[in-house]
Amino acid sequence: MRFLTTRRRHRAAKPLLLAFALLVMGAFYVAVSPAPQVSADAGTSGQVAAGKNLFAVTCSSCHGLNGEGTKQGPSLVGVGAAAVDFQMSTGRMPMAHPGAQAPRRVNTYTAEEIAALSAYVATLGPGPSIPNSSAYDYSKLTDEDLARGGELFRTNCSACHNASGIGGALPEGKYAPSLHGVEPLHIYEAMRTGPQQMPVFSAGAIPDHDVASIIGYLKNLEKQPSAGFSLGSIGPVSEGLFGWIIGIGGLSLFAVWIASRGARAR
Amino acid sequence: MARPAKISTTSEYDVPSTPPEEPGFRQFSGFPAWLDERVGVGKIVKFGLRKVFPDHWSFLLGEIALYSFIVLLLTGVFLTIWFKPSMAEVEYTGTYQLMRGLPMSEAFESALRISFDIRGGLLVRQIHHWAAILFVAALTAHMLRVFFTGAFRKPRELNWLIGVGLMALSLIAGFSGYSLPDDLLSGTGLRFVDGLIRSIPLIGTWAEFFVFGGEFPGSILISRLYMVHILLIPGILLALIAAHMTLLVYHKHTQFPGPGRTDKNVVGYPLFPVYMAKAGGFFFIVFGVLILMGALMTINPVWVFGPYNPAQVTAGSQPDWYMGWVEGAVRIMPGWESHWGGTTWSWNVFVPSVLLMGLLFTVLGLYPFIERWITRDNSEHHLLDRPRDVPTRTALGVAGMTCYAMFWIAGGNDILATHFKVSLNAVTYFMRVAVFVAPIIAFIVTKRICLGLQRKDRERLLHGGESGVIDRSLIGGYSEAHTPISQDEAWTITQQRQFEPAAEVETVDADGQPIKWPKLRARLSRWYFSSDVAKPSRAALEAAHHHDGPAEPTDIESGTKADILDDQLETDAHR
């Protein structure tokens, strides 16, 4: 300790002490402050920054400047990158105008912009990430897997989306959209994130393999040839309509023709 | 002891001889003669072949129903060859890839097999289903034709009742067939019926156990429905159709009023050869249209719906069209329920399904008798009413159709919501009001249209039709010369018997029979007839045709004030 006391008035003591204090503070800051979540990817921090900027322009008026949510839009903390990717890639977000439900539209954002926004929203809190294509790959499934996917679809999905996947009505102007022509990735993301009226089907409830089976069933069902004109695939309502119009209507025309040369009394 | 009978030594049969030929024209020879001599078909054939049928396109609606029924029988036989009416569970190993390995009932498995593995099976299944849709539709259209033309009046009330029975049975036939394939949609339909049965107060639960052999879905329902669908109902239908057509032949066909047509004749072509060709040709047209429909338009793709599983349901579950109005009534009914003592009274299901169906068929069955009670019309009718000539009946019919249509539309409220981008709740609330308000509006509008058409007829009768030629008189006035209508048209539009509304409360009718509820009857009679536009009297007709001078208002005995005014204006213009 003599060393400290004897040299305490040395000219270099003050600057050295200052440097030491700064070092301690720096070490303390590094130890205490949260590590940036995007540290794994060197390019991500820039992406997040870009996403934050884009978020402020396109999303913040409803979802709040920090994604905390407002009266117009829900909080995005913890929705995950998958939710952003689903909503923006299918053109549902940003919403054109407030309504019961955001309809599917043509997406006008580039893949980079959506990736940046997804990366930014993912930093707000942990949530489902954008899956690898292997998670929903159905190309290697057996017929039994596909049939099981159909059974799962009818148990979990068809009550709203219709057995043929053409969608259906929900209360107050809401609806379950048609699943025809929807990307497998988006079906996966919708099941995991539960957009709009849809419930979340977590991996604990329906594991990835079963999700792939459901997607495989739907994609195969779309490819099935129909037994004639499908009449909108909406079941007995359109069947009755066509039965009356073509059946009774058409045959009435024939009847008019047959009865047109009637007998006269004179 | 009996004495032995005397034995004669000669017999008239000893010498074989044929009786002398009866004098007169021999109508048959060869096999027909052989058949006629043994079973006497000559009279029947002669009677049948010379039967005259009048021509009108709407008379063929019933024929569409008859021919679709024949198509149903033919295609139905084909389907029974492969269909297995069993709810036993099997694992699917057929050719449809997206069902492989799924557990399902034998019924559904065989429905898939008919669709995918039996040659022509899918086509026949689709023809059968389209024929069922068309059968009930044609039956309904035929019934409406009969209603609006008053063909149910004396002497045809019984045939009307048989028709109502056919209608009710065809609904059961259609529904049981819809339920047989045991796919998700038919199972959901059965679940609906299960709820309907259970909603019957007090006995509902036991009735369900009786029908389903225990709790829904049980394991015997498909085989029971199969019996109902292919034996019981078609059998009764066949018998009733036979009775319906026998009565049709016995009563002779009705005809629209027209020149030379009276209540005592039928103007038309005989069955042989003209009507044989027309009706036979129409059968092939109906069959052809049904085959085209079966070949070109998907109906009930059971493989999309999947096997029935009580844990599953699909959006857009609807019954076939003829049960759609019951579905709609249940959909828009508020959820009313009472609990009295340990019992549950499910008004929300019982009222819109069981009571409403009962109401429809009761009203249909009683209508001819109610109308006769109001009109006291005891005469036979073979000439049809033109709908405009009976405005109140026509308006009642349109009001009924409108009410039915509102329930019907409500049955597709989800389809309406998604396809027209409106709120499901809004559709439902609108329909709750519309089922009561729309029929009233339809009644008023229809009655006004009928009365307007009546006025137009009276106008044409008195003053003829527009000639389109405008004359300018010497002093500068313009007038249009009217061309008198033909005698044929005048005859046609004056055929209608004019009823007078009851002036006072009558207690006995023309035959001295007491009238039930005379006060109510008198009020209804006034409601029924008082707005009819009176037919012009003979004097008014003659006066109008002469155009010598203004018709004196006193000439028009039964004309309304408006008619008289019109008359004066017209004649003034012609001077």
- The mean pLDDT values, 10 residues at a time, for chain B of 575 residues are 63 59 64 84 80 90 96 96 95 92 95 95 96 97 96 95 97 95 94 94 93 91 95 96 94 89 86 87 96 95 93 92 96 93 91 95 96 89 93 96 96 92 93 97 97 92 87 90 86 84 79 82 88 83 64 42 42 39
Q: Could you give the count of Cα atoms lying within 13 Å of A96 in the half-sphere of its Cβ?
A: 11
> How many angstroms separate the CA atoms of B546 and B570, rounded?
12
Closest-approach residue (CA) in chain B for A171: B424
Task: Kindly determine whether residue A227 and residue B54, on different chains, have CB atoms separated by under 8 Å.
Answer: no
Task: For residue B13, tell me if it sits in a domain.
Answer: no
Q: Please state, in angstroms and rounded to a whole number, the distance separating the CA atoms of residues A66 and B391.
A: 70
A175 lies in some domain = yes
Q: Check CB contact under 8 Å for A255 and B58.
A: yes
A-contacting residues of B 257-316, CB under 8 Å? Answer: 258-261, 267-269, 278, 281-282, 285-286, 289-290, 293-301, 303-306, 309, 311-316
- Verify whether the Cβ–Cβ distance B60 to A258 is below 8 Å: yes
Which residue of B297, B327, B488 is the best one to mutate when testing the A interface, meaning the one whose CB has the most A CBs within 10 A?
Answer: B297
Chain centroid to CA B170: how far?
11
On chain A, the residues whose CB falls within 8 A of the CB of B260 are 264-266
Is B278–A258 a contact, with Cβ atoms under 8 angstroms apart? yes
Short-list B166, B161, B158, B144, CA closest to B66 = B166
Domain annotation covers residue B157: yes
Chain A nearest-CA distance from B333, in A, is: 16
Report the pLDDT value the prediction gives residue B11, as an integer from 0 to 100: 58
Nearest to B315 among A162, A173, A259 (CB): A162
| A66 found inside a domain | yes
CATH number for the domain that contains residue B363: 1.20.810.10
**Closest Cβ opposite residue B60 in set A255, A264, A265:** A255
d(CA A163, CA B188): 12
Residue B491 confidence (pLDDT): 86
A263 occurs within a structural domain:
no
Residues from chain B that touch A246, judged by Cβ atoms under 8 A, are 289, 293, 297
Whether residue A171 is contained in a domain is answered as yes
A39 Cβ contact partners less than 8 Å away, ≥ 6 residues apart? none
Instruction: Closest CB to B315: pick one of A160, A262, A263.
Output: A160
* Residue B518: inside a domain: no
Q: Domain check: are A174 and A197 in the same one?
A: yes
CA-closest candidate to residue B230, choices B287, B299, B177, B300: B177
Residue A110 C-alpha, separation from nearest chain B C-alpha, in angstroms = 30
**How many whole angstroms separate alpha carbon A23 and alpha carbon B458?**
112
Indicate which of A175, A198, A251 best probes the interface with B, i.e. most B CBs within 10 Å of its own CB.
A251
Show which of B336, B361, B385 is a domain's final residue: B385
For strand B89-91 and strand B478-483, is the pairing parallel, antiparallel, or unpaired?
A: unpaired
How are beta strands B89-91 and A168-169 bridged, if at all? unpaired
* Same domain, residue pair A197 and A138: yes
How much is the mean pLDDT over chain B?
88
Question: Least CB-CB distance to B97: which of A146, A167, A240?
Answer: A146
Task: Kindly determine whether residue B286 and residue A251, on different chains, have CB atoms separated by under 8 Å.
Answer: yes
Answer yes or no: are the C-beta atoms of B411 and B328 closer than 8 Å: yes
User: Has residue B393 been placed in a domain?
Assistant: no
Query: From the list A100, A159, A240, which residue is nearest B320 (CB)?
Result: A240
Asked if B418 reaches chain A (Cβ–Cβ under 8 Å), the answer is yes
- Whether residue B59 lies within 8 A of chain A, CB to CB, comes out as yes
> Do A82 and A156 sit in the same domain of this protein?
no
Same domain, A119 and A143: no
Contacts of A216 in chain B (CB under 8 A): none
B415 close to A (CB below 8 A): yes
Q: Which residues in chain B touch residue A151, judged by CB atoms under 8 angstroms apart?
A: 102, 306, 309
Identify the domain containing residue A89 by its residue range: 40-124
Half-sphere exposure of B387 (CA within 13 A, CB side): 15
Instruction: Report yes or no on A3 lying in a domain.
Output: no
The residue in chain B having the minimum alpha-carbon distance to the alpha carbon of residue A226 is: B298
Per-residue pLDDT of chain A (266 residues; tens, 9 = 90+): 677 777 777 888 889 999 999 999 999 988 887 665 544 555 577 888 899 999 999 899 899 888 888 888 889 998 989 999 999 999 998 888 888 888 899 988 999 999 999 999 999 888 888 998 888 899 999 999 999 999 999 999 999 999 999 999 999 889 999 999 999 999 999 999 999 899 999 989 999 999 999 999 999 999 988 888 988 888 899 999 999 999 999 999 999 999 887 665 44
CA count, 13 A, side-chain hemisphere, A66: 3
Q: Which residues of B touch A144 (CB under 8 A)?
A: 100-101
Q: Is residue B21 part of a domain?
A: no
Under an 8 A CB cutoff, do B425 and A160 touch? no
Q: Mark which residues 171-230 of B lie under 8 Å from A by CB.
A: 184-185
What are the structure tokens assigned to B239, written together?
Answer: 């018998």
Please, where are the H alpha helices in B149-203?
157-179, 184-198
**B206 inside domain:** yes
Supply the pTM of this predicted model.
Answer: 0.85
Q: Are residues A48 and A68 in the same domain?
A: yes
Question: What is the b/e burial string over A10-48, where b = at least 16 CB atoms within 10 angstroms of the residue's CB?
Answer: eeeeeeeeeeeeeeeeeeeeeeeeeeeebeeeeebeebb
Give the residue numbers spanning the domain of B272: 59-256+265-300+318-385
* Same domain (yes/no): A102, A46: yes
Q: Where a domain ends, among A103, A124, A145?
A: A124
- Please indicate, yes or no, if residue B526 is contained in any of the structural domains: no
Instruction: Give the residue from B349, B366, B385 where a domain finishes.
Output: B385
B92/A147 Cβ within 8 A: yes
Could you say which of A89, A124, A159 is where a domain stops? A124
**Cis preceding-peptide flag for B501 (omega within 30 of 0):** no
Q: Check if the beta carbon of residue B62 is closer than 8 Å to that of residue B244.
A: no
- Paired tokens of B522: 């008198």
Same domain, residue pair A217 and A183: yes
Q: Which of A154, A174, A223 to mutate to test the interface with B (most CBs of B within 10 A)?
A: A154
User: Do residues A161 and A221 make contact, with C-beta atoms less than 8 angstroms apart?
Assistant: no
Q: What is the dihedral of CA B518, B523, B528, B533, to 10 degrees?
A: 120
Tell if the CB–CB gap between A173 and B281 is shorter than 8 Å: no
- The pLDDT assigned to B363 comes to 96
DSSP string of B18-73, one letter each residue? PPPPPSS-----HHHHHHHHHH-HHHHHHHHHT-EE---GGGGHHHHHHHHHHHHH
Q: Do B267 and A243 touch (CB under 8 A)?
A: no
Residue B222 C-alpha, separation from nearest chain A C-alpha, in angstroms? 21
CA B223, B229, B232, B234: dihedral to nearest 10 degrees?
-160
Q: Which two tokens stand for residue A45?
A: 């921090």
Both A141 and A107 in a single domain?
no
Q: How many CB pairs under 8 A join A and B?
A: 230
Q: How far is CA B513 from CA B375, B505, B509, in A?
A: 14, 14, 5
Mutate: best of B282, B321, B408, B421, partner A, most A CBs <10 A: B321
Is residue A217 located within the same domain as residue A140? yes
**CA A11-A16-A18 angle, 5° bins:** 115
- How many structural domains comprise chain B? 2
Q: The tokens of B375 are what? A: 């009109």
Q: Which residues contact B59 (CB under 8 A, 6 or more apart)?
A: A259, B53, B145, B253
The answer for B 125-144 residues in CB contact with A (under 8 A) is 126, 129-130, 133-134, 137-138, 141
Please report whether residue B18 resides in a domain: no
State whether A103 and A158 are in the same domain: no
CA dihedral B565, B571, B573, B575 (to 10 degrees): -150
For the CA atoms of B151, B153, B156, B162, the dihedral, rounded to the nearest 10 degrees, stands at 80
B267–A159 CB contact, under 8 Å: no
Instruction: Assess whether A144 and A213 both reside in one domain.
Output: yes
Question: From B426, which residue of chain A is nearest by alpha-carbon distance?
Answer: A172
**In CATH, what number is assigned to the domain containing residue A57?**
1.10.760.10
**Per the domain annotation, does A145 fall within a domain?**
yes
Q: Is residue A260 one of the residues assigned to a domain?
A: no
Beta-bridged to residue B22, according to DSSP, are none
Count of domains in chain A? 2
In a domain, A1, yes or no: no
- Here the tokens at position B362 are 């009761």
Nearest Cβ partner of A150 from B55, B306, B414? B306
